[in-house]
Structure formats: structure tokens, C-alpha cells
Structure 1
Amino acid sequence: MILRKTLSASALLSFALLTACNTTPATDLTSSNTARFDYVATVPLETGDTPRDLAKTLGGTVLSWDNADCGAADSEVCVALMGMNINNTAQGEVSSTTAQLHAQSLAAQASRKVYIEPNKNVFSGGGSMTAIMGGSMSLWAGGSMSLWAGGSMSLWAGGSYSPLPQNSTLWQQIRLQQAQALAPNLGDGVTVAVIDTGIDLQHPAFQGSLTDPASWRDFYAADNDPQEEGTLGVGGYGHGTNVAGIILQIAPEAKIMPLRVLGEDGSGDVVMVAQAVDWAVAKGAKVINMSLGSEDNSKVVQDAINRASTRGVLVVSSAGNANLGKITYPANNAQLKGPGDYAVSVGSVSLQDVKSTFSNYSNTLELVAPGENVAAPAPGGMVAAWSGTSMAAPMAAGGLALALGQPLKVPLNDVTKKMIGTAFDVYDISANRPYRDMLGDKGRLDLALFLQNVIK
């Protein structure tokens, strides 16, 4: 199955009515320019700045203009993001040293501190498709997927059974049945932004379960149609659909806000991820799922996550799938004091609670959840199983949606701490002993115990 959409032609930002230090949020100035940039620069704004003048001075393209909090104590809140291409070698590649020298040059031109970092294809979604189940929707009638025949995720609601029979064992592992009974609103009123490859917007599993289309955005193609693109079983195609489907199996009454930042190969740019985080916050998301990561710590993305945290938005991110003793970013920053109060990083274990062979691990990892062969919707009205920390993260995101759909008995900034602190201890399992203290503070997600500790 192949699905592609035509990208809009590159267009310039309109600068006519913009002035520095007004109240225009960055998300209202998302560029319609589909050009890709090697580097992204963060430029502090000053009174009198305009996008036109800044672009002329620094020689880049203004991608966002965040001056809503200009004049606040933290001057870095008042910033512009600019896309730049720096061709300094015969191959057109730029070393970090060259980039920093360029940043110094830009800073001198602008008479202010300018930060620059790599942008293009820095982030990627992890995981791999392990099975495709069923055919078209018409072939499922009367079978195990017949609950989808009505075209509504609400048919799965009820809180006393496993939404997909293929996942029954792993749902028992995290005690989903008990959790849904404890949180009978099933995430009602909670919007979860899925920052990913997009989703299959026409899949019957999502009908009635998506936010208003006015809140959708495709940052990769610079339009408002975050439809997955690609060939099933190749690259990242189906990744976001699976992730969103996992969240809805746990919190069937939550709403999914689809935001596309990764292409069909599963990779995407720093500025796309950062803009998607800001967009999600501005459009009312209470939880953000980021089943993606980078080996490098992106200041641009972390700044966006910090802004989300100050507004009380919970952020879940996956740990990475390279079986390394370090986890990817932004997951690796989830334990930081401050923004970490609203964030959680998630690795993967098997049905036996043994570290998945692919899962990264670290003493900065906060939680693990089952991430192997997780069945969920797939593009084209199908079901597919994926494996990866990308599949473990949305289990935590769905659990947070269950909690936020109920009255809380703890402060919001304690919710992720409770999720981490109520996990099932996996360190007594002999196979996990080499990873002591590197599979979370305690270990594997326990949704029922978590909810018992956070909801009234």
C-alpha cells in the first residue's frame, strides 16, 4: 500500500505586521516553507526587531518568532528560530567547529548571543514492524477485530476487558483491566498529542477519537494534513498509527492530536519537533507522546519541552532501541529537576519483564513498559504489531491520560513521579541483574497501583 501527498510549493513568511515584543505566539507563525535546513539558530529577540530585519542581518530564514513572553525574567523565552545552510566544504558538510565559528560570526552581526545546532534528520522514530494481521476491514467482520466494525474506538470502552485480544497478556502485565475500572472516565476530556510520523486519519479505530482538524499539523510537509505516507512494512510508515492506537487502547475516551514531524523513513528535523511541541501546548494538549529521539541533546527541542512543562503539560519520550547504556534525548532529560517533574522516559521489557534486547538502558532511565509485539492499528484499516521503546512510551502516555481524566489527589507535578515510584520491581529477575538501577527507579509500569496513588 502506497500513500503520498503533494507538498505545497515553498512560500515566504509574511512579515508585514510583525514587531518584536508583542503577544504573538510562535505557533501562529509556523512557516509554510517546505525547505529543509542543515542548521537551526536560536536568536534572542530585542525591542525593535522584526523578522524581515533579522533575516536580512543573519542571512537565514525565520521559522518561528516567539516573543509572547518578551521582557520576562528569562530572556531566552523571547527568541526566533532561523533555518540556515552553511556550505563550507567541497562536500557541503559542516563540522561542529565550523558551525560554532559561524554562530560567533552571527552573534557579532546581531550584537547578541546566538546558538546554532544541527537540524536536518536529527530525530528518528524507533521500532520495527513485526507482524501484519488481517486484511481490509471487511475481512474482520465476525472475527476478533469485529469490535471495529462500527468504526468507533468507543466500542472498546468499558474498562473491563482488553481492547485488542492480541494484547491480552501484556495488558494483564501492566494491569490495564484494573486501571480502567479505577478510572471509569477512560481519559475523557484529555488530549494526547502524538508527535510522530502522522497517523492514518481514515482508520476506523480513530473515527471519533481525534481532535478537531483545526488542531492537526504536518510540520514535515508544512500543511494541515498529518496523514502517514509510505509503503507498509518499509521505514517508519505505520509507526505513528501504532503509537496512537496503543494510547487509545489504554485510554479509549482520550482524544488524539496528530502532529507529523517524521518522514516515511522515520526521520525528521529539530525545528519540526520543537514547533510541534509548542503547537501541541497552544492547541490544548495535556499529554505529549514523543516516540522518537536523538543521540544529541537538542537545546531547541528541550527549550520547547521546558515551555510545555511551565504550562503543566506532561511529556513522555522513548529511550531508544540500540541496546546501549545511554538513552536518547529528550528522554535523557526527563530526570532533570524542574521540567522533569512533568516528564517521564520509558524503555522496554518483554512479557517476562526482562529488558528487551533492543532497549537502551541507563541510570537516567525512569520507567520501562512492555514494548514487544504490540498490536495496534496500521495504515489501510489493518492491524500490525510493532516492537520498540516507541511502543512502551504510549503505554505510559495512555496511563497519564487515564489519570488526568479523573480528579487528582496529588499535585500535577507529582503525577509522573508517582508513575515512576509505583512501578513493579524487575530487579529480582536474574536476567535483569546486569542492568541494576538502569531500568528505571523500580522498573515496569503498573497502571493500577499508579492510579490508586494519584486519583481520588
Structure 2
Amino acid sequence: MTNKIAALSLLTLGLLSACSNTAPTADVPSTPPPAATPVAQERFVQVAMVPLQAGDTPQSLAAAVGGAVLSWAEDGCSSGDEINCMAIMGLKSQADGQPLRAQSDRTMYIEPNKDVFGGGGKMTATMGGRISMWAGGRISMWAGGRISMWAGGQFTQLPENTKLWQKIRLEEAQHMAPKLGAGVTVAVIDTGLDLQHPAFSNSLSAPSTWYDFYDGDTMPQDEGTFGVGGYGHGSNVAGIVLQVAPGAKIMPLRVLGSDGSGDVIMVARAILWAADHGANVINLSLGSSENSKIVQDAIKKVTRSRVLVVSSAGNSNLNKITYPAADATAKDSGDYSLSVGSVDLNDVKSSFSNYSDKLKLVAPGENVYAPAPDGRMAAWSGTSMAAPMASGGLALALGQQLASGELIEEMTENAADIYKISANNPYKDKLGEKGRLDLVRFLDSASDD
């Protein structure tokens, strides 16, 4: 990407680098700290957006609010661009910000910050053997043997996923898009990845583009105990993207802890970081029950630069999808934003999947096998697994040099109709604009434009 996001407002005053205690290895260079004074890593209770006024300085606002200045964007003040005439403030307590709230001529927007976002889905099956199970050809898809991905209609490297890929017609789609996503970077904003997993060898973006916003260092390693909480969630999501578009690169960005939760400011920063460091697609297999204006403003900024954003719909079986997926229809970013729910192999709504008339698409999200930490493989189920299928499909199209501007519309308008299935009658028009992801119809239509 040649144009950086204006002001990168959520990154301007630091990427938490001051608090890093992790020494990068020789082959994983450290990201240079920003020019401005970095902000110490801290889990703020709330975060505030404060419109800037003439005479404001970071020091004066910090003194008035009682919190910490996390970003400072003033490039848009003269033009009336509110998004780029704003300070983002971290508030340590409910009492912070009271003096500024009393100013009648300034409106300060405050929202909860800590542990607002969570990654959805759960591990449903594992396979043992660790590194050894990748022997005998399974790893060849990621290590350059992509021509042998399919044999007689069977997905040879991970045959457990064959029926899933047949459902979205992946084999034919990969023949239609022979570059397989080469030249495309997909940012996976999640729990991090098992960076040493052989499945990710040669498939990650340059280490200078990685960041761990949760710990404040340059090693977004998936951390935790196998089978507990969110550990392995990001590795699974990234592995799904690479199965669909094995030529793409994954940019690992960690915003969720081992329990699968993370802060508003971490998610927003990661979105802007991804766009500024060359991501073409951003996968957000995470969500919140409450809207975050700060995260939504970050999405507005990156979609202005034609970065595609894919978000999962949530796993509570509610007639309401989580944010930011719920905002994927927003007028100012909807052409570049996609929300994804889950169906089973019979195209019936997954028992866990949220649904809504705002939902744009569904994809099969049950028992999806992909890399897991410590060299393992595991299956997860959730809308978190459906979203990266769409992200991978978009990477296939972008790899063929198709313009990003109409790809979201093409993908949703050319989905397979699943409303004729009686089990979906209660969810009429709430399982996507048309229905389930069909990569062949999508690529065929997008190629004709």
C-alpha cells in the first residue's frame, strides 16, 4: 500500500514499545519505536475520544482528563475531518475525565475498554503427533508443493476438510485463480500465531510488520495452555486463510490474551497498523456485544484506503450479530466491509451462529481443521472459522489483480441460495443477503467486471 492512513491516529503516540521486556531474536528484527514518546503498556478501564480545540496540547489534555494520551490526530482539524481531529485518551478509572465533561463546549465520547472484545468459537477436535503429523506431504501445501493440493477431488494435505472445501467449491476456484493469492497480505488480528509452526513457514509477512498489542512487543506468539480458552484460535484462523489462498501472506497481530479477550484500544490500533504495513485484507474473528466508536472509526479509516475488512458474526445464537460485523453495512465503509456467519455442511444455520438482516454472508464454520500450537493440528467451530474462508476468497481475487472496490458486493451477491432449505425458514433473509459463500460464482462474476 503506497498511501499511509492519515495520521494513523491510534498509533501516533506509541505502540507500547516502551514496556517490552522481550528481546527479539536475530531473525525477527524489532519494530523501531515511533518518534513521539511511547505510552507505557496499561490496561485502561475506559477510553475516550476528545475533539481537539485551538490551543490543546497532549500535556494540557492529559492534565485535564487525568488519563493518558494514546493518540493525537490534528491533520483534519482545518478541514473539518472529525476522525482526524481527535485525541484518544486512556482512563484509569470512572472518575477520570470529569473536569473535561463539565466543559459545555466540548463533547467527549467515552466507552469501556478492558476486555470488551473476544474471539469466538471453540476447539472441537485435535490430532496428535505434533511436528511428525506434518510429514508425508501435509506440509507441502504451505512449503511450495501447491500443485499437489488436490488429487481426485480430495484435499490431500488436510483431507479432514475436503467436504468443507467441496461445499464452497475451493478446488475449482483455485484453478480459476492460479496465483492463489500471491502478492496479497491478510492481517489476522487475533490471539497471535504459533510462529514456529511448520505450516506457517514462508507464509508470514516480513517480521517488521508483526506486533503484539496485548504484551507490547514484536512477537505475536499464541500463548496459553492447549485446549484451554482462546489458545490456538489465531493459529486456526490463519491456517484457514492459507488453505483457501496458499499464496497469500499472513500478517500476525495479537490483540487477545490466552482467555480470548482483549481491549478496544488494542483492536483499533491493530486495524490501523495492518493497513499502514501493507495489509490488503483484515480478518477480525472477534467481536463485542456493544458497538465501539473507536474501532469503527479505525475501520472507516482503513476502508477509505480500500482495505477489505472481514468480521465474524458471533456465536450466541442471537438475532443480533456482534460488532464490528454489525457495522459492515455502514454507508461510509460498507463497500469494503463484510460480516460472516456460520452454517453446517448441509447449509443449515449452525446452532451457535448469530443471525440478522444485517448479516451479509455465511460460510461453513463447523469442525474446520487447521494448524494448532506446538506443531499440532486441531479443529475449531465458530463464526470465527467462517470469516477466514471469506478472507481467503478475497485474497484469491486480489491475487488475480481484481480491484477491491466491488469484491464485497460480488461475494455477497453471488452466494449460494440456502433459503430454500426448510430448516432455515426461521432465519429468512438473516443468513446473508443471498446465502452461503460460493467461490466459483464469486470469482466468475468478479472476473467479468
What TM-score, normalized to structure 1?
Answer: 0.87
Structure 1 residue aligned with 2:74? 67
2:86 to 79, 82, 88: 79
What is the CA-CA distance between 1:45 and the residue it aligns to?
A: 2.5
The separation in 2 between residues aligned to 1:336 and 1:158, in whole angstroms, is 41
2:363 is the counterpart of 1:369: yes
Find runs of 4+ consecutive structure 1 residues off by over 6 angstroms: none
How far apart are 1:105 and its partner, in Å?
Answer: 4.1
Partner residue of 1:175 out of 166, 169, 178:
169
CA contact (8 A) 2:46 2:94 kept: no
Q: Distance in 1 between matches of 2:7 and 2:319?
A: 43
Equivalent residue number for residue 293 of structure 1: 287
1:156 to 130, 146, 152: 146
Q: CA deviation at 1:455?
A: 2.5
1:227-265 deviation per Cα after TM superposition (whole angstroms, max 9, x unaligned) = 011001000000000000000000001111111000000
Q: Greater shift after overlay, 45-54 or 229-238?
A: 45-54
Aligned to 2:296: 302
Q: How does 1:433-444 map to 2 (within 5 A)?
A: 433-444=425-436
2:176 aligned with 1:194, yes or no?
no
Residue matched to 1:331: 325
| Deviations 1:74-96, CA, capped at 9 Å, x for gaps | 223222211102246xxxxxxxx
Name the counterpart of 2:267: 273
Change (3 A) 1:342 1:121: same
- Deviation of the 1:23 alpha carbon: 5.6
Report the secondary structure of 2:287's partner residue: coil
Q: Once the 2 structures are TM-superposed, how far is the Cα of residue 414 of structure 1 from its aligned partner?
A: 1.4
Q: Partner of 1:19 in structure 2?
A: none
Q: Distance in 2 between matches of 1:151 and 1:350?
A: 25
Helix, strand or coil at the partner of 1:253: coil
Aligned in 2, Cα 1:68/1:277: closer, same or farther, shift over 3 Å? farther
Q: In the aligned structure 1, how far is the partner of 2:396 from the partner of 2:54?
A: 44
CA contact (8 A) 1:160 1:178 kept: no
Equivalent position to 2:120, from 117, 126, 131:
126
Asked if the contact 1:189/1:254 (under 8 Å) is kept, the reply is: yes
Q: Which whole-Å deviations, capped at 9, do the CAs of 1:365-410 have from their partners, x for residues lacking one?
A: 11000000000000001100000000000000000000111132xx
Mapped contact 2:416–2:435 kept (Cα < 8 A)? yes
Equivalent position SS for 2:302: helix
Distance 1:87 1:116 in 2: 10
SS of the residue corresponding to residue 344 of structure 1 reads: strand
- Residue 439 and residue 222 in structure 1: after superposition, are their counterparts in 2 closer, same or farther (change >3 A)? same
Contact between 2:142 and 2:246, CA under 8 Å: does it hold in 1? no
Q: Give secondary structure in 1 for the equivalent of 2:11.
A: helix
Residues matched between the structures, number: 416
- CA positional deviation for 1:35: 1.2
Measure how far apart 1:193 and its partner are.
0.5
* Cα offsets for 1:194-237 (capped at 9, x unmatched): 01000100000111111111111111111111001100100000
In the TM superposition, what is the alpha-carbon distance from 1:65 to its structure 2 partner?
2.3
Q: After TM superposition, give the deviation of residue 104 of structure 1 in Å.
A: 6.6
Which digits, 9 at most, give the CA deviation of each residue in 1:290-327, with x for residues without a partner? Answer: 00000001101000001111110100000000011110
**CA deviation vs aligned residue, 1:155-202 (integer Å, no higher than 9, x gap):** 335675635211000100000001111111111111110010001000
Q: Deviations over 1:318-349 (max 9, x none)?
A: 00000111100000110122201101100000
Letter in 1 for 2:43: R
**Does residue 449 in structure 1 map to residue 441 in structure 2?**
yes
Distance 2:275 2:198 in 1: 27
Query: 1:49-448 to 2 correspondence within 5 Å?
Result: 49-87=56-94, 105-108=99-102, 112-142=106-136, 146-148=137-139, 152-156=142-146, 160=150, 162=155, 163-408=157-402, 412-448=404-440
Q: Alignment partner for residue 14 of structure 2, among 30, 33, 54? A: 30
| Whole-angstrom distance in 1 between the partners of 2:256 and 2:184 | 24
> What does the per-residue CA deviation read over 1:433-454, in whole Å, with 9 as the maximum and x for residues that have no partner?
1111110111100011100111
Q: Which runs of 5+ in 1 are unaligned?
A: 1-21, 89-101
Q: 2:91·2:97 contact (CA, 8 Å) conserved in 1?
A: no
Name 1:40's counterpart in structure 2: 47
Relative to structure 1, is the Cα distance of residues 200 and 151 closer, same or farther in structure 2, using a 3 angstrom cutoff? farther
Equivalent residues of 1:31, 1:63 under 8 A apart = no
After TM superposition, give the deviation of residue 134 of structure 1 in Å.
2.7
Q: Distance in 2 between matches of 1:28 and 1:224?
A: 17
Separation of aligned partners in 2, 1:206 and 1:310: 30
2: CA distance, partners of 1:258 / 1:47: 39
Question: Structure 1's 354 and 24: CA in aligned 2 closer, same or farther, altered over 3 A?
Answer: closer
* 1:238 partner letter: G
Contact 2:360 2:432 in 1 (8 A): yes
Residue range with higher mean Cα deviation, 273-282 or 66-75: 66-75
Letter in 2 for 1:83: G
Q: Which amino acid in structure 2 is aligned with residue 114 of structure 1?
A: M
**1:113, CA displacement in angstroms?**
2.0
Name the CA shift for 1:159/1:184 in 2 (closer, same or farther; >3 Å).
farther
The separation in 1 between residues aligned to 2:7 and 2:364, in whole angstroms, is: 43
Match of 2:35 in 1: none
Separation in 2, partners of 1:71, 1:379: 49
Amino acid at match of 1:29: L
Amino acid at match of 1:434: P
CA distance in 2, matches of 1:130, 1:156: 27
SS of the residue 1:230 aligns to = coil
Q: Following the alignment from structure 2 to structure 1, what is the Cα–Cα distance between the partners of residues 68 and 334?
A: 32
